[in-house]
Structures are given as C-alpha cells and as structure tokens.
Amino acid sequence: MPNQLYLYAAGSNGSGQLATGDTDDAHIFTPCVFADHAPGVLPPNTEHILAYAGGGNHTLLLLSFRPDEPNAPARVELWGSGSNSRGQLGPSLDTHRSTFQPIHLPLAPLNLHDHTPIHIAAGWDTSFVVLRSPTRPHTDTVLSCGGNDFGERIRQSSRYAQK
C-alpha cells in the first residue's frame, strides 16, 4: 500500500490561495483541502507533487497520479486555488476557490489534446503552463493566462487586459 501524501500551508490567504477551505490567514501550518477530499489529504492515487507555483492571490500545483494499468505512464493534472479574477486559473474555474480544484485547460481547440503539463509558473495574477506532446517531446508549448498589465504574457500589453 503506497504512503498517503499530505499538504499543509501557512501565510496570507485573502483569496483562498492556501486552499484551506476559507480565506482566513493561517498563522500555523494548516491542512490544505482538495475538492471532495478530507483536509490535508491529497486525492487518491496521487504519487507526487511535481511542482508548486504561487502568485499574488492564486496557487498552482502539478500532481502525478499512479497509472490505472501496469506499464502505463503516470497521469499529470494541473490543480489551482485562490483568485481567478483575471483568468489566472484558466477558463474552467469560477472567480474564487478556497480549495484546490482540477484545472481543465481547453486544449482540443488548440490541437494540443495529447499534451501533458510538465512545468508551471505564476506571476502576480498570471499563470504559465508548459505542455509536452508524447509524440513530439522536443516541441514544448507554453500557455499563459491571467493579467497582462506589464506584458508578462509576451503579447501586446494592455493596461487593463482581461481574460
């Protein structure tokens, strides 16, 4: 039986970015909450926390899950919490989440349906996800979402850029 993984957080939490189930600041390490799971406990079959990225009021996680079938690759999922006021958690989540939720990026319209997230980064209200194709491992794709007030999304800057 594999070991159970736990995640705890402390600090500022005004937008629920610590994923403790509320927006109260945490002055001691407090269990994080994942959608539909007990506080502190990661979803079943979570193998590793691959990456963490914290923005001003949002958090991203990359989680790997044990495969369902022998010799199959691990499944990697992007999860997020906190503010999505600028679209920094992507189009699948509501404006505010105080628990970690899976983030479903619309990859099919971009012809990236077979790509897997391999890296994440976060700015104040911006997120970056690096995707890799299993059939073209040397051609990564970077997706950005969220604010672009200072050109951080590598596109023409708009002082009041929206989703």
- Token pair in block for residue 153: 């999304």
Per-residue pLDDT of the chain (163 residues; tens, 9 = 90+): 456 788 999 999 999 999 999 999 999 999 999 998 889 889 989 999 999 999 999 999 999 999 888 888 889 999 999 999 999 998 876 678 999 999 999 898 888 989 999 999 999 999 999 999 988 878 899 999 988 776 666 655 444 334 4
Identify the CA nearest to 106 among candidates 78, 125, 134: 78
- Token pair in block for residue 71: 């010799």
The answer to pTM > 0.95 is no
110 — phi, psi (to 5°)?
A: -95, 5
In this prediction, residue 52 carries a pLDDT of 97
Identify the CA nearest to 103 among candidates 140, 66, 145: 145
